[in-house]
Chains A and B, each alone.
Chain A
Amino acid sequence: MTEPLSKMNTLWEETLPGGAHCSFQMKRGTALRLTDLEGGANLSTLLYNRDEKLERYNMADTLKAQHTAHLSRGFVCYSDMGRVLASVIGDSVGWHDTICGMSNATLVEKKYGRADYQHARNAMHRNATDSMIIELGKWGLGRRDIVPNINFFSKVSADEEGGLHYQCGHSAAGDFVELRFEMDTLVVMSACPHPMDPNPKYDPRPVLLEAWRCGVPAENDYCRNHRPENVRGFYNTELLYR
C-alpha cells in the first residue's frame, strides 16, 4: 500500500533554487514529490544504492527492460544489478528524458556566456556535470561515477530517422513527478537547464522537493505490474530486504 503525500506523513520539504545542486539519502518506503514551481524546470538526477554505491541507475537497463525510451508513471528506475532503485508513482508531465545527458562547462559557456561568482554571486552560471562532481565528491565518488542521467521535466523525442526534438514548454508551473524509493538510495540532483534547452538566456527554474513516508509497494502495485519484467525486478529488489 502506497500512502499519498499528506500533512500527516511529510518528512521534510525544501526548495532547490534554479541552477543549484543537492544530494541526500532516501530510505526504502519513502517517496519524493518534485514540483516544477514556475514551469520549464529541468532536474538532472543520478541514483545510487546508498550502501553499495557501485550499484547505480542504469539508463540502458531501465530502457530495455521496459521497452521505453522515456520515463513516466508506471516506469521504474533500474540499477545495473537488476533491482529497482525508484518507481515513478505519480506524474503530471508524461515524459521525462533520460537519453540526452547533462550540461557541462563548455556547453554552458558557449550557450550563455560567462557569469562567474565574482560578478554574479549565486546567480553565476553553473553546469550539471560540475555540479554532480561536487555532490558526488561529498560521498567519496567522482567523475568516473557519472553515468547517463535522468532529466526530470524535460522531453526529447526522436523521429523515424532518429532525429532528436526538444519540446519547449513541456512542463508547466505546478507540474510534478513522484518517486517511491524501493531501496535505500543516494539521490544526486542539479537544477541546471537541459543541455538542449534552446532558450538563449540562462534561466534555471526552482523545484520543490517534498519527502514523505509512503510504505512499500503491495502485490497489486501499479509500477510492479506495469511490465512483466518489473515483477522480476521487484523480486530481485525485495531479496535485499528479507
Chain B
Amino acid sequence: MAIVESNLNPSQASYNHVLPAGESWLHEVKCGQVFRILDLEGNQAVDTLFYNARNPEERYSAVDTIREQGNLYLTAGTQLMSTEGRVLMTIVADTCGRHDTLGGACAAESNSVRYAVDKKYMHSCRDSFLHALGHCDCGPGKTQMDKRDLTANVNFFMNVPVTPQGELTFEDGISAPGKYVEMRAEMDVFVLISNCPQLNNPCNAYDPTPVQLLIWDAAAQ
C-alpha cells in the first residue's frame, strides 16, 4: 500500500465543509480542482459516485476502474474510470492506503438480507443517494437524477479484502482519525456522497462519524 501525503494547505481551500454521518452531499468539482475527503474520527465509510457534469449518463464504473488498473483496491495513482473509458478523477494523495469499490452501498433491502428482515427500516446510503438525486438539477436539461443513475460506488476508507480463493471479507477499518484521500478532477465532475449510516457492521466501527470535504482551486495547488 502506497502512502502518499499531500502538501496542500487547508487554509487555502476554496471549499471546506463538515458532513455529518447519515447525510448526502452532491457538489461539482471542476476540472483541475483537487478534492479531499478527510476521515475526522477514523473508520468512516464514505460511499461515493462520480458523474461527468456535462453528461451525467457518463458515470463512474467500478469494474472498468479495477480492470484497467489490474487491481481491486483504490489508492494513490488510481484513475477513477467512467463508463465511457475516460478518466473522471485521479487519486493524487492517500494516507489510508486502500479503498474498496466492490462492497457497494447499504440499502434498506440489502440490509434485510444481510442482517435481519426488520433492519430494513434503518437509514441507509441508498436512501441518502436517492434523496440527493431527487433534489438535484444535475440531470440532462436541469432535471433530477434517479435510481437509474445509481451504480456500484467507491467506499473510501472501507476495508474489504478479497482472498485468492475468491472470498469477500469485511475487516476492521485501516483508516484512523486524520487520514485522507485526495483526487484531482480530470473533467468537470459531480461528486455524490453518502456519509454511511450503517450500524450493523464494522465499516464505521459501529459509530458513524463526520467527514470533512475540501476543494482547492488549481491556482492554490
Contacts and interface: CB of A to CB of B under 8 A. Distances in A.
Contacts, number: 135
A9 interface: no
Nearest to A58: B104
B164 A158 contact: yes
B110 interface: yes
A14 interface: no
A148 B152 contact: yes
A119 B182 CA distance: 48
B166 A157 contact: yes
A106 B160 CA distance: 30
Contacts of A69: 102, 162-163, 166-168
A147 B71 contact: no
B62 interface: yes
B18 interface: no
A82 B71 contact: no
Contacts of A106: 85
B6 to A, nearest CB: 23
Interface stretch (B8-16, B113-121, B187-195, B211-219): B113-121
A67 B113 contact: no
Query: Size class of B's contact patch?
Result: 35 or more
A162 B149 CA distance: 28
A147 B148 CA distance: 10
B179 to A, nearest CB: 19
A60 B102 contact: yes
6 contacts: A65-B114, A100-B67, A104-B85, A106-B85, A147-B152, A148-B63
Given A69-B102, A101-B63, 18 more contacts: A59-B62, A65-B110, A65-B113, A67-B167, A68-B167, A68-B168, A80-B107, A81-B109, A82-B108, A107-B85, A144-B148, A144-B149, A145-B148, A147-B152, A164-B72, A232-B112, A233-B113, A236-B113
Interface of B: 57, 61-64, 66-67, 70-73, 83, 85, 98, 102-105, 107-114, 116-117, 120, 126, 147-153, 160, 162-170
Query: Which 5 interchain pairs have the tightest Cβ spacing?
Result: A60-B104, A101-B63, A82-B109, A162-B72, A70-B166
